[in-house]
Amino acid sequence: MDAHKQNIQGGKMSSKNIPKVLEDILCLQDFEEKARRKLPRPIFGYIAGAAEENTSLQDNRSVFKNYRFITQVLTDVSKRDQKVELFGKTYHSPFGIAPMGLNALSTYRGDVVLARTAQAANIVSIMSGSSLIPLEAVAKAAPDTWFQAYLPGDTPRILALLERIKNAGFKTLVITVDIPVSANRENNVRSGFSTPLRPSLRLAWDGLTRLSWLFGTFCRTFMKYGMPHFENSFATRGAPILSANVLRDFSARDHLNWEHFKQIRDYWQGHLVIKGVLSVKDARLAKEMGADGIILSNHGGRQLDGATSPMRILPDVVQALGSDYPVMIDSGFRRGSDVLKAVALGAKMVFVGRPFNYAAAVAGDTGVEHAISLLRDEVDRNMAMLGVNRCHELNPSMLINCRSSD
């Protein structure tokens, strides 16, 4: 076992192993400002931005303030273990890395970095279909990675993509269903981001003022692999990330329906998860149609602005589907306390997106390792102070919903 894997499986980096750039990173939020200083404005804007007025983005954070813990004291918590079981596999923590596109644009080989570090830490990592590294390369580097697909607009291309994913060796497929049309991401426009990126003096300046990114990520990638392309939206290669005239194929998805999901379920023999559910009705349908699990999500506030935080519907969905059914969740999680609040309400796994992207941008594998360590330590400390030794001991009685009690 190499030193990297030993460090991350141990759950903690010793201070002498922490590089200088990470010495003042004490929580996941601290990565954001360092990433802002390192990344060109359009790329940082793409990661940080959400839809329209950021209403859902802000609600994703504010919802956690509605819940307060009830602790139990004088309980022996010396044998704490935050492991959880999901789809027959035991993971070391109840959180994982959410899919987010263009990771390889913010750090060199970003999708491989996230997947490889997550596997070393034995946590879940989901690769985005909107990524710039062929899914086969990620599956080879980290075979336990899940793959998240954006469905093409017609059945033949859907089945061709599924065949490619299966042949690459992925065992768990996540279908994102909350993008019937492209979102109104005004923040991307204001920051100069588009897909593909359009060459301009402004874009050139943004790159030249971030030399460590320019040479350490973009030029390094270009010299070894050529111009990055959208590799995994379809069975075939998509548009380049930088082009003056090529358009990215967003393939209309507004006609996709549950019959398409049924076709996928009939074809896909591995674990199948639906991501983007925000109602009890759709959660029930997903279970009835054969989904092995669901991820409650408002896409990190990046789709419908004003969509509810998944935390607000989590209790109702768990009650409707039963405590044994894998209800997972993402959007807005930043603290170990956030993770444990969701687990107490019945979530089987919590996914965190932007902070891990920032961590990779700041310090590659080591940054992601540090981020996992910080969150894992927070979960561990909070379990001790709550008076529990295992995640399954958490339950709704350990929370007060301050909003409902007002």
Q: Which CATH number fits domain 29-187+248-401: 3.30.70.120, 2.30.33.40, 3.40.50.1110, 3.20.20.70?
A: 3.20.20.70
| Residues ≥6 apart with Cβ < 8 Å to 174 | 99, 126, 146, 147, 148, 149, 273, 274, 275, 295
CA-to-CA dists, residue 348 to 217, 355, 381, angstroms: 35, 20, 19
pLDDT over 50 at 4, yes or no: no
Tens digit of each residue's pLDDT (9 = 90 or more) over 150-189? 998 889 999 999 999 999 999 999 999 999 898 899 988 8
pLDDT over 70 at 336, yes or no: yes
Q: What is the per-residue pLDDT for 73?
A: 96
pLDDT band at 404 (very low <50, low <70, confident <90, very high): low
Q: Of 196 and 309, which is predicted with more confidence?
A: 309
**325 is known to lie in a ligand binding site:** no
Tens digit of each residue's pLDDT (9 = 90 or more) over 46-88? 999 999 999 999 999 999 999 999 999 999 999 999 999 999 9
Residue 299 a catalytic site member: yes
- d(Cα 343, Cα 76) in Å, to the nearest integer? 21
- d(Cα 19, Cα 190) in Å, to the nearest integer? 34
The pTM score is: 0.94
**148 is known to lie in a ligand binding site:** yes
Q: What is the per-residue pLDDT for 405?
A: 46
CA neighbor of 39 nearest in space, from 109, 107, 128: 107
| Residues ≥6 apart with Cβ < 8 Å to 281 | none
- Mean pLDDT value across residues 211-236: 94
**311 is known to lie in a ligand binding site:** no
Q: What is the DSSP string of 98-157?
A: PP-TTHHHHSTTHHHHHHHHHHHHT--BEE-SS-SS-HHHHHHH-TT-EEEEEPPSSHHH
Find the radius of gyration of the CA atoms of the chain: 20
CA neighbor of 380 nearest in space, from 393, 395, 390: 390
Least confident of 21-25, 120-124, 194-198: 194-198
**109 is known to lie in a ligand binding site:** no
Residue of 229, 299, 370, 392 with catalytic role: 299
pLDDT above 90 as % of the chain:
84
Q: Does residue 277 contact residue 172 with C-beta atoms inside 8 Å?
A: no
pLDDT over 80 at 245, yes or no: no
Average pLDDT of the chain to the nearest whole number: 93
CA neighbor of 190 nearest in space, from 52, 32, 36: 52
**192 is known to lie in a ligand binding site:** no
**193 is known to lie in a ligand binding site:** no
What are the extents of the domains in the chain? 29-187+248-401
